[in-house]
Structure 1
């Protein structure tokens, strides 16, 4: 068993109560960043840690959009169903899982967890045991992100959008209901690269977790519309990341991310965290940040 597997197993056996969750988050933060979370002049990871460790993470709206099926209702009501990735089927019980209901080209993922996905490109065999195993997965037990704690296990199947198995992800960081910073990811299932842009599509000189790579991403033709959609979806949140896809015409929402990188993301160079924080939070004082993030 690897070190990470042992750590997840240990965390999974700890009592499922908020004080323990807080200690797990604090310990993980200190081990990753080699410092305590800042109360004064907080940076990017400090604010996300504050959300994870406060009652804000169990706000009913945050819990609702955490579910990858329910978020589509939220998107439909806020900006219209045309901005949802179509749903092929949802398996609600392990006995419902049926290979005959899974298209040759699709994406399969649990609605109640993060980081789990199967991409089927050309009708290749599907790991049905893995899919059925997702029904026993409780992402909260190992992540201690309490917005996942009471989600019903389900598996959602979606078509490959834009007829492409390797598409570009656009992720818009919004604070106080306004887009502030754009993250672009490509090659998530091969060689993952990530870059950041301001709202005028000027590339920023820092990275987060993944290398920046040499790809020069073109400004989406419908960037203004993408930012309008992100603005409407982020109302009612302090900090949230709106994850979307675009082919230059359509804007499709992938999910709403409450705690990007789980407050564990490492910037490169290290000063990048300060720069990203300034772009997202601006010149808000500590007191103003405290009122915006519970």
Structure 2
């Protein structure tokens, strides 16, 4: 009972004060920091620290000036990110592009293939997989062209992105593939192996490994999956990700592979908005040691 009361005064009340205050603030760096702090204490049930812990480092990136770095902004855009990837590791690593839609008139005139992925370039989570020529909901797509992910999430790397829609073909000729999320700090440090249907959250599972595919025995955000074999193309995937990671501090590089080939899908600068917890929670310290080094993590105040 005493713990619940303490949590109410330390977390719940400050959270709602920050949220209410955030609505009153004009769009600004202060509003971004206010939003980041409020979401951190809500999701992690504590205050952020200056320690080298994964969640705290993400918070510092999100609330500080780093997300406004022009390179982070450029590579957040799903169209422009391909230009960056092409320049660093070559165009063959990009998912092909069928077309890019920049306006209502272009949307109305665009001929969508019967099978294609449709994504907003300036947001996260706005995507449609057209499998068999299903009707296109033009009202939904028109809404994407007016959508501001920055105003919704206050992640600064989205602030200056122009609304666009990118259309891509199904990769690997529609055959099975899986996703890897490579967390890099100068180089690849930790990898999430994803399982399940991306459209059905209830089916999703994850397991974390080191860059050498040593099992970390933990997950993030979703239930823990069973141990799996090392991806066939892991060495090549890590080499490509390392080349891209050299331009950032902490960054996530998303890869799709069928074990015969792979594509770099996106460069993600603030994993899950900085709000996902580890499963189990105590694994965050060990994973942080893998990413940032044990000496930094062991300096915790």
Query: Fold-level match, TM-score > 0.5?
Result: yes
Name stretches of at least 5 consecutive residues in structure 2 with no aligned partner: 1-17
Supply the distance in 2 between the matched residues of 1:19 and 1:10 (Cα, whole angstroms): 11
Deviation string for 1:195-249 (max 9, x for gaps)? 11122223321111111234x5332211100000000011121111111111223
Work out which structure has the larger RCO, using CA pairs closer than 8 Å and 6 or more positions apart in sequence: 1
Deviation at 1:8, TM superposition (A): 10
Aligned in 2, Cα 1:10/1:168: closer, same or farther, shift over 3 Å? farther
Supply the distance in 2 between the matched residues of 1:201 and 1:12 (Cα, whole angstroms): 44
Alignment of 1:149 onto 2:164: no
Supply the distance in 1 between the matched residues of 2:175 and 2:44 (Cα, whole angstroms): 34
Supply the distance in 2 between the matched residues of 1:166 and 1:153 (Cα, whole angstroms): 31
Alignment of 1:174 onto 2:170: no
Pick from 80, 93, 96: which aligns with 1:83?
Answer: 93
Aligned in 2, Cα 1:98/1:65: closer, same or farther, shift over 3 Å? same
Supply the distance in 2 between the matched residues of 1:135 and 1:225 (Cα, whole angstroms): 36
Supply the distance in 1 between the matched residues of 2:172 and 2:217 (Cα, whole angstroms): 30
Deviates more, 1:54-63 or 1:100-109: 100-109
Alignment of 1:203 onto 2:212: no
Q: What is the total number of aligned residue pairs between the two structures?
A: 280
- 1:194 maps to 206
- 1:267 maps to 278
Supply the distance in 1 between the matched residues of 2:210 and 2:236 (Cα, whole angstroms): 15
Structure-1-length-normalised TM-score: 0.89
- 2:260 maps to 249
Q: Is the 8 A contact 1:12 1:142 kept in 2?
A: no
- 1:164 maps to 174
Q: Is the 8 A contact 1:112 1:153 kept in 2?
A: yes
Structure-2-length-normalised TM-score: 0.87
Query: What pairs up with 1:90-101 in 2 under 5 angstroms?
Result: 90-98=100-108, 101=111
Supply the distance in 1 between the matched residues of 2:132 and 2:295 (Cα, whole angstroms): 50
Deviation at 1:270, TM superposition (A): 0.8
Deviates more, 1:270-279 or 1:44-53: 270-279
- CA RMSD of superposed structures (Å): 2.4
Deviation string for 1:101-153 (max 9, x for gaps)? 21111111100001111011111222221111001100000100011011000
Name stretches of at least 5 consecutive residues in structure 1 with no aligned partner: 1-6, 290-294
Supply the distance in 1 between the matched residues of 2:209 and 2:231 (Cα, whole angstroms): 12
Structure 1 stretches (4+) deviating beyond 4 angstroms?
7-14
Q: Is the 8 A contact 1:174 1:280 kept in 2?
A: yes
Aligned in 2, Cα 1:211/1:262: closer, same or farther, shift over 3 Å? same
Pick from 206, 215, 218: which aligns with 2:229?
Answer: 218
Return the index of the structure with the highest Cα Rg.
2
